[in-house]
Structure 1
Amino acid sequence: MSAFSPEEQKLLVQVEYGQFLREKIKLAQKKGFDVPLEQIHPGLKPHTRDIVRWALAGGQRAIFASFGLHKTSTNLEVMRQIGIRRPEMFRLIVLPLGVRQEFIREAAKRFTGEQAITVQFVRTDAEIVDPTVIYLTNYESVREGKITTGRIGAVGLDEASVLRSYGSKTYQEFLPMFEGVEFKFVYTATPSPNRFKELIHYAGFLGVMDTGQSLTRFFQRDSEKAGNLQLYPHKKHEFWLWINSWAVVIHHPSDLGHSNEGYDLPPIEIRYHEVPSNYETAGVEKNGQGLLIPDVAMGLSAAAGEKRNSMAARVAKVAEIIAAAPEDHFVVWHDLEDERHAIQAAIPTAVSVWGTQDLDEREQRIADFSDGKFPVLSTKPIIAGSGCNFQAHCHREIFAGVGFKFNDFIQAIHRVQRFQQKHPVIIDIVHTEVERKVLADLQVKWQQHDEMQSKMGEIIRTYGLDQLSMQDALARTIGVQRQVAVGDHFSVAHNDCVLEALEQPENSVGMVLTSIPFANHYEYSPSYNDFGHTQDNAQFWRQMDFLTPQLLRILQPGRIYACHVKDRILFGNVTGAGVPTVSPFHAEALFHGLKHGFDYMGMITVVTDVVRENNQTYRLGYSEVCKDGTKMGVGSPEYILLFHKPQTDRARGYADTPVTKVKPQCLGDDGLPVDFDRTLPPIPGTGYSVARWQVDAHAFWRSSGNRLLGAAELASYGPAKLAKMFTELSLANVYDYQLHVDTGEQMLASKSLPATYMSLAPGSSDPMVWHDIVRMKTLNGAQAARAVENHVCPFQIDIVDRLIGRYTNPGEVVYDPFHGLGTVGVRALKLGRKGRGSELNAAYFRDQVHYLQEAEREVSMPTLFDLVALDQENAS
């Protein structure tokens, strides 16, 4: 017996639940140490001192400071402060090629007297011996395994965006190398200029949040195409606040409240020079028809071919531009080695830097150009496009061609457009007629970059480096103003499902039927009340711990709670397993229900299309299976878990209010229908028969045998007709595995096997394995017709209808705490029941009320037979 009254218990749950929701607000944790501002290097700029102090307190932070805002001195000062407090710790700064001279110069110029430091460039682990030294190395040395991280306690990645140039595989492999390093920092001026997911990788490197978790938390999946992720519109503000909790994004000192004096970027002029394409190399269409001009929608290989074919004209234009300004210094950016040779031949004064050149020679040439010792530097953006400072003697750059990599492009421009540049910057871009599309794409990315920079700057100017103000801003998303819509046959609320369930009377619903969120697989609203807004499965089930006891309380004794679930696919590059694995979410749901007092009655399996699933996840790929069959699991079905609330009298196996079935009528000796009698033959279709009971109750067993119809005959029908026919035949005949495979291979041979859906799906005769659920039969069809937002995970109508019909009596209440578009309520009304539920998403709530009102009008509308009966009644 509880010591609290029902109202006191309700209030206690509300308070504990509110505390839980606030705990869900997760900004980056502080893992460093506080340093008084007066102990930060006094010679640094005020905004730099603020950033250093903030970074040290966090311990794992990103400094996204614009070009010329002293990332080098910030990096060195952070390492100096760590050395003071952790003198035994080895410290390492990883740099792009050609940048070490900048660090060495900065250390000698600014870090003197009491702030003096020693920096040393190394290429192997054997050179790292003295913890009092701040070591520098190149990304290549880490990438090649010459420098490892076993002894490193603090690392700073300078110009970390350069990692993208190595390719996504190296990029993703590089970041986990530093997992065990205590203090980690990232420095770049161009964080994800047009790819938000790069920010996610930085967060993973820093240890702020697991990459897979953050992708799920902020990005919506495309159900038709794997990997096509977009930032949830309703998560944008939270996303940027989260970014700002571990990354300082600053474009001017004034972003942190300091003066901008001396920090005005020089004006920039972009000059475009179009040279004609070589029409003789235009190529042909797929049908053999010759092209008049080369294809403008070119890929990487076609773009490389276009560059080679137009190289002479482009290099001639470069030489012409340089000859027209003999007093100026130029950086000439190119992509191909052949271009380097052509530039060198056309411009003898140019000094080149290339990849296979001796490392010391490369860096010396870059340093000499930076010092103004020669007028023309020819190199690739991947070599000298990041970290180098050329503004002292150079304000001109020429791109000898255009490419697809915007990060390389924008980084290269800012080698000369920097603070303390004394001249207007002129950028000449040489391209061919066919490359107009590539150039246009580059310009779009530039616009996206500026928009993102503006958004990030707005956040830092609003909240500064204060996490408390950011946390308070996010806390304001907790809670919802309850609204209730009521009809003759329904009552639904716009509310948190836990809080709404607390409002429901005890033992008031005949069935609970819902599709619970699949942990953090989807988020349905920006509110922390959202069950999808969780870090992991454990936190999701903690929130369910508040809901499930209420579902048990409001369900009538002896009745069914049907819970629709699906397992989660875990990708190998996220888990570290190397292969896709499955999180048994349905099993967690099963034991969760048992934990809260439900009896477990069984599980219905709803089969899904394995081909469509693979198109979404790529985890069952045919090519990979051919390489190693152990990589392939099986398709992931959906499940309906059937829970039973204990009846009041546990000595009797019946619900307090049973769900009864009408037995069929039988045929009497006189040939007239009589009430059910086991000794007489039943009349088919007049009630719930023994035959139907046998089908409903039996297990799913199938044996193998041969069909009369061969594989070739089946395959000849084509995928459109065969999809339905094959399922029906597999039910009407004993199943033959070999014939199933042969039929598919016949279709493959005739090029008629679909790649977008499974055309040969076997049927199931077991009522606990449902093969015939129409995947697209959801209320999203009505949503599309109304041109309003689709539900991200709609409930199939077929599933709902069967469960309501099986487990409720007419007139009873069916409750759905995650009511979405209102599928459960709408189908309950149409099946002669009543609907009740809750929904947090305001748009979904408005839509469900529309559908419920529409359904109520439909079921209330008298039929022709009703009118005839009424006329007869009135006449009598």
Structure 2
Amino acid sequence: MNYKKFLEKKIVVADSFGLNISRSALSPLLLPHQTDIVHWAIEGGRRAIFASFGLGKTIMQLEIARLVMVLTTKPFLICMPLAVVGEFKRDNEFLKTGHEVVYITDSDRIDDYQTKIYVTNYERIRKGDIDPTKFGGVSFDEASMLRNLETETTNYVLAYFKKINYRFVATATPTPNDFIEILNYADFLGVIDRGHALTRFFKRDPKKAGHLTLYENKKEEFWKWVSTWAVFINKPSDLGYDDTGYLLPKMHLHEIEVSNQTDEVIQNKRGDIVLFKDTTKSLVDVSREKSDSVQIRIDKALEIVNAYADSNWIIWHHLNKEKDAIERTFKGFDLKSVHGGQTNVEKEAALIDFSESRYKILSTKPKIAGSGCNMQHACHNMIFAGIDYKFNDFIQAIHRVYRFRQSKEVNIYILFTQNEREVLKALKTKWAKHIELQTEMINLVREYGLNSDKIKADMKRQIFSKPRSSVVGNATVFNNDTVIQHDPKNMADNSSHMILTSIPFGDHYEYSDNYNDMGHNKGNDEFFKQMDFLTPNLLRTLKPGRVAAVHVKDRIRYSYQNGTKFTTIDDFSGKTVSHFVKHGFYLIGKITVTTDVVQENNQTYRLGWSEQCKDASKMGVGLPEYILLFRKAPTGLENSYADEPVTHSKIDYDIARWQLDAHAYWKTDGNRFLSAEEIQKSDMKRIFNYWKKYNKENIYNFAEHLQICRDLEGQDKLSKLFMTLPTHSNQECVWTDINRLKTLNANQANQKKEKHICPLQLDIIERLITRFTMPGEIVDDPFGGLFSTAYKALELGRGSISCELNPDYYDDGLFYLKSIEYKINVPTLFDLIGEAV
């Protein structure tokens, strides 16, 4: 395979798992937009239908079930919320599928010899009562309710049905900014591995586990990818059809603030007496406020209902305490409560009775009846007797009545106290974001229709095609794909004296928004396949006998990536050694650089103290970094010398310097770009430096080390952001004194620019260049980043060739190179100390 074909294979689109069928095979009773979606879903085989309320998801799923049963001759399963079975049975009679809809509670009810449409509730499948191997296809109706289940339960449900080839999802309101939900659907459908998607599109929040942020430069690609396996549609015109009968009535949103004042002493969550209640977004505060204000909110709900006595109402609540207050306050009204203490049969019967106007007021929770139920024919008024931060439950509950075929204007009353304004503000912010992102998806549907091939063709534009280059002093730098730049047409044989680089750590991170990016690969195997195009040229361009120094780190594999319930380590450094050796390099050494275990845990959440105390058997240790030293064999093998040896004058390079270089433990001088936190931590710096000196000069004593750390903790000086007093090493193969802040990233942070994800410390770069090259020689960095290698090469009197794919890194790196070339240096710590003196 040539390189271009390799890159085009990396374009992320959903594969097809279905079969081509004639549109004439579909039921003529389907509306045009339903016909398009069903045809697209069957050909895809594993697809998501995100169609707005009232567009006919029930009918579409029934038709999909009929067609899958024709293809597989096996029954079809539809999983759904409570009270929706009746709607499927009614729509099945209208559609005349020729197959019976049968409600089941376990697999024993399934007739293996008949193709029937079996339906069940999520409560049954999460208990493992249903055997998926008996079905030819499965559809999750209102699948967004899976978010209400515990994470482990949701993962179980999604994984449980992966044994079925034909898999579908149908829901009206996937929350576009709830990326975990969307990735769960993709994982269930088998259109992408969740770990690959996380790496491809998202950056993690080191301060909040599980919080994902979509890379700004990946938004367009992400939603185009989603469009290859999911269709978002709000009305028929989104697919080019007439909207007659699909216009929503006006909705009136009534925000009613009730006063919750008290003469009692007010305490905050820490127990301190305060003048006003805490109105922050704390979940504890919200819960306390809801509990304290139940009766005043229910009294206001009664006042509203009394003003429109002839109307039917839904009263939504979240607490059992609220349910009890509603039943007590509305005693004598035609009201029924649907609650968790009832059987599923009782809940379903009560919900169906309300949908058919057999009583006037329904009182229930959004998590019980907020999904799937069609109440628009029975009701157009609802009251949220209380609010919380769960936007999806909120919006789903609204759309029980605000949906197509609603003939009256809808009234939504939201009751809250003056201390819950932040909660309401958060809900409205999420609502606005929800509309914004849904609009983006609808626009893609309008642009591409249901044509995945057209989307894929458009995404090919993201293959890098605009190379640039600059010369700064003796450094030549390129904004280009490093594979292309190291091609024989662009770089001569034996033209560099050293290779010094930090390679991408597999698919750990993507540095640019195009498919040339080495980080844009599915797993290490694919990463090294792309490296196969580069590494032979690194060997070709390096002078015989010279060194390639490669910075790497082993990879963390979380439980969802490795199929276990615990975190493991992927030996990425070992695989890197195998890769370079395969292409003709010889491994001649490894340098170990320790890292800060506390900082690592803050980013990975895998080494936590609390988990260590629960079960130490599952805990590993912090991951060091490595510098792998490879050598290209000399042309002649009569001796070990390079064709052009790296020689040093014994006058300039004395025995003292040799001893320090030969010993793999080299101290840093501590000078670095000024950090914003330097002054604030000056006291701890003195403590740190004293410990470092003491730890070096005395025999190590673990008990003493532990006691000093405990003393610091007792004074609230033991940092939770970094390891305050790390263990220092005198071993020649371990460097513990590398200044992790001494990178060009520190300057990026000071200028509020994007930091490079895997920076190579300037200390290491300087040591390696000095050791393995001579003045005037050329150092090649194929993954230039911010051009740290070129920066130090110029500073040390060497030349440099450096290649970087990311145009922003390239531009920032040019700034640093010019600052060295023209001696316009950024102030350093020692410069400022000198000025102060």
TM-score range, shorter chain: over 0.9
Q: 1:578 and 1:858, CA in 2 relative to 1: closer, same or farther beyond 3 A? A: same
The one-letter amino acid paired with 1:59 is G
Between 338-347 and 394-403, report the one with greater CA deviation: 338-347
Match of 2:182 in 1: 199
Give 1:462 deviation, angstroms: 1.0
Give 1:139 deviation, angstroms: 0.5
Match of 2:574 in 1: 587
Of the three residues 385, 408, 427, the one matched with 2:393 is 408
Give 1:326 deviation, angstroms: 1.8
Match of 2:671 in 1: none
Give 1:750 deviation, angstroms: 4.6
Give 1:289 deviation, angstroms: 4.4
Of the three residues 57, 64, 71, the one matched with 2:43 is 57
- Give yes or no for the alignment of 1:814 onto 2:814: no
Of the three residues 760, 765, 769, the one matched with 1:800 is 765
Between 279-288 and 317-326, report the one with greater CA deviation: 279-288
Of the three residues 80, 89, 110, the one matched with 1:128 is 110
Q: 1:85 and 1:289, CA in 2 relative to 1: closer, same or farther beyond 3 A? A: closer
Of the three residues 816, 826, 829, the one matched with 1:851 is 816
Match of 1:86 in 2: 72
Match of 2:672 in 1: none
Match of 1:631 in 2: 618
The one-letter amino acid paired with 2:464 is G
- Give yes or no for the alignment of 1:606 onto 2:593: yes
Mind listing any 5+ residue stretches in structure 1 that lack a counterpart? 1-14, 665-685, 701-716, 861-876
Of the three residues 630, 642, 654, the one matched with 1:688 is 654
Match of 1:783 in 2: 748
Task: Describe how 1:347-362 pairs up with structure 2 within 5 A.
Answer: 347=330, 348-362=333-347
The one-letter amino acid paired with 2:280 is A
Match of 1:332 in 2: 315
Between 529-538 and 437-446, report the one with greater CA deviation: 529-538
- Give yes or no for the alignment of 1:379 onto 2:364: yes
Q: 1:179 and 1:727, CA in 2 relative to 1: closer, same or farther beyond 3 A? A: farther
- Give yes or no for the alignment of 1:564 onto 2:551: yes
Secondary structure of 2:413's counterpart equals strand
Q: Verify the 8 A CA contact 1:598 1:644 in the aligned structure 2.
A: yes
Cα deviation, 1:683-728, whole Å, max 9, x if unaligned, reads xxx5331x6545554689xxxxxxxxxxxxxxxx985433222233
Secondary structure of 2:273's counterpart equals coil
Task: Describe how 1:218-617 pairs up with structure 2 within 5 A.
Answer: 218-223=201-206, 225-280=208-263, 283-285=266-268, 289-347=272-330, 348-502=333-487, 503-617=490-604
Match of 1:765 in 2: 730
Q: Verify the 8 A CA contact 1:718 1:752 in the aligned structure 2.
A: no
Q: Verify the 8 A CA contact 1:278 1:310 in the aligned structure 2.
A: no
Q: 1:302 and 1:148, CA in 2 relative to 1: closer, same or farther beyond 3 A? A: farther
Q: Verify the 8 A CA contact 1:279 1:293 in the aligned structure 2.
A: no
State the percentage of identical aligned residues.
44
Secondary structure of 1:398's counterpart equals strand
Give 1:193 deviation, angstroms: 4.3
Mind listing any 5+ residue stretches in structure 2 that lack a counterpart? 666-681, 826-837
Between 621-630 and 123-132, report the one with greater CA deviation: 123-132
- Give yes or no for the alignment of 1:726 onto 2:702: no
Match of 1:832 in 2: 797
Secondary structure of 2:266's counterpart equals coil
Give 1:782 deviation, angstroms: 2.4
Q: 1:289 and 1:482, CA in 2 relative to 1: closer, same or farther beyond 3 A? A: closer
Of the three residues 123, 137, 160, the one matched with 1:177 is 160
Q: Verify the 8 A CA contact 2:391 2:431 in the aligned structure 1.
A: yes
Match of 2:649 in 1: 662
Q: Verify the 8 A CA contact 2:598 2:721 in the aligned structure 1.
A: yes
Cα deviation, 1:440-497, whole Å, max 9, x if unaligned, reads 0000000010011001101111111111111111101112222110133111111111
Cα deviation, 1:302-322, whole Å, max 9, x if unaligned, reads 323222221111111111111
Q: Verify the 8 A CA contact 1:811 1:832 in the aligned structure 2.
A: yes
Q: Distance in 1 between matches of 2:156 and 2:717?
A: 40
Of the three residues 115, 120, 127, the one matched with 1:144 is 127
Q: Verify the 8 A CA contact 1:388 1:415 in the aligned structure 2.
A: yes
Q: 1:836 and 1:222, CA in 2 relative to 1: closer, same or farther beyond 3 A? A: farther
Of the three residues 52, 60, 66, the one matched with 1:74 is 60
Q: Distance in 2 between matches of 1:290 and 1:93?
A: 54
Match of 2:673 in 1: none
Q: 1:804 and 1:266, CA in 2 relative to 1: closer, same or farther beyond 3 A? A: same
Q: Verify the 8 A CA contact 1:111 1:117 in the aligned structure 2.
A: no
Secondary structure of 1:518's counterpart equals coil
Q: 1:489 and 1:224, CA in 2 relative to 1: closer, same or farther beyond 3 A? A: farther
Give 1:754 deviation, angstroms: 2.1
Q: Distance in 1 between matches of 2:10 and 2:792?
A: 34
Give 1:368 deviation, angstroms: 1.2
Match of 1:119 in 2: 101
The one-letter amino acid paired with 2:820 is A
Q: Which structure has the larger Rg over C-alpha atoms?
A: 1
Cα deviation, 1:91-137, whole Å, max 9, x if unaligned, reads 211111111111111112x232xx32211111122112244111111
Q: Distance in 1 between matches of 2:556 and 2:328?
A: 56
Secondary structure of 1:427's counterpart equals strand
Q: Distance in 1 between matches of 2:160 and 2:471?
A: 58
Cα deviation, 1:9-43, whole Å, max 9, x if unaligned, reads xxxxxx81111111111311111112210111110
The one-letter amino acid paired with 1:29 is D
Match of 1:11 in 2: none
The one-letter amino acid paired with 1:55 is A
Q: Verify the 8 A CA contact 1:516 1:564 in the aligned structure 2.
A: yes
Q: Verify the 8 A CA contact 2:72 2:136 in the aligned structure 1.
A: no
Q: 1:224 and 1:692, CA in 2 relative to 1: closer, same or farther beyond 3 A? A: farther
The one-letter amino acid paired with 2:735 is W
Q: Distance in 2 between matches of 1:400 and 1:699?
A: 68
Q: Verify the 8 A CA contact 1:274 1:430 in the aligned structure 2.
A: yes
Q: Distance in 2 between matches of 1:227 and 1:735?
A: 39
Q: Distance in 1 between matches of 2:264 and 2:552?
A: 56
Give 1:757 deviation, angstroms: 1.2
